[in-house]
Chains A and B, each alone.
Chain A
Amino acid sequence: GDSVTQMEGPVTLSEEAFLTINCTYTATGYPSLFWYVQYPGEGLQLLLKATKADDKGSNKGFEATYRKETTSFHLEKGSVQVSDSAVYFCALITSGTYKYIFGTGTRLKVLA
């Protein structure tokens, strides 16, 4: 079945460091890919998305590129802030279904 694999956390960085959170997927069809962020005590918020190969999703300084050849959708940010501390989830959905597949989440801690 379809699946999403994320790097295990926590990831701890200093403020202004470069961030990469790896995400790879397996899917039988042509999925849309998403990154969600969850701040403490809140639900998941959509951070960015990409719906086809080579698309780049971006939002709030975060970027991720849909790489079909490597089945990856790595999340990057050039300079993290303390306020970026949260749990990040990679997810996919395959066209024709309504069941989303989520990764296990990666906790990011940014230190001042």
Chain B
Amino acid sequence: ETGVTQTPRHLVMGMTNKKSLKCEQHLGHNAMYWYKQSAKKPLELMFVYNFKEQTENNSVPSRFSPECPNSSHLFLHLHTLQPEDSALYLCASSQVYASGGTYEQYFGPGTRLTVT
């Protein structure tokens, strides 16, 4: 596998279900991100992990719970979601340098989530 992979690619879940999205990066990066992409809305940053530490949580509801066990893996645990949570969830990674420089992000293909 190369780049950033995400599983599953498609997920349909009921509002009472619990599911998890998985992301894995094979680029040796030290920062990982979750984004939400809804139709006709800008890309929304949800969470950022830098060196496995969560550094950003953009007022995301608690029904979304991220987990970053190591610098290569990122999970998004979902429970009691709402229909408006239906969207494309994108994972990304980047390299943050000790000097503070950060360059391009690499994205996975996304998980298309439908909440019924």
Contacts and interface: CB of A to CB of B under 8 A. Distances in A.
B38 to A, nearest CB: 12
Interface string B94-106: 1010001111111
A21 interface: no
B90 A97 contact: no
Given A43-B110, A98-B50, A49 B104 contact: yes
B90 A44 contact: yes
A18 interface: no
Contact of A49 (B90, B101, B103, B107): B103
Contacts of B21: none
B78 interface: no
Nearest to B90: A43
Contacts of A105: 42-43
Interface stretch (A60-68, A77-85, A88-96): A88-96
B81 interface: no
A98 B55 contact: yes
Contact of A97 (B4, B33, B92, B102): B102
Interface in A5-45: 32, 34, 36, 41-45
A43 B43 contact: no
Contact of B43 (A32, A34, A93, A102): A102
B105 A43 contact: no
Contacts of B90: 43-44
Contact of B102 (A36, A45, A98): A98
Given A32-B103, A89-B43, A98 B94 contact: yes
Contacts of A49: 103-104
A104 B41 CA distance: 7
Contacts of A34: 104
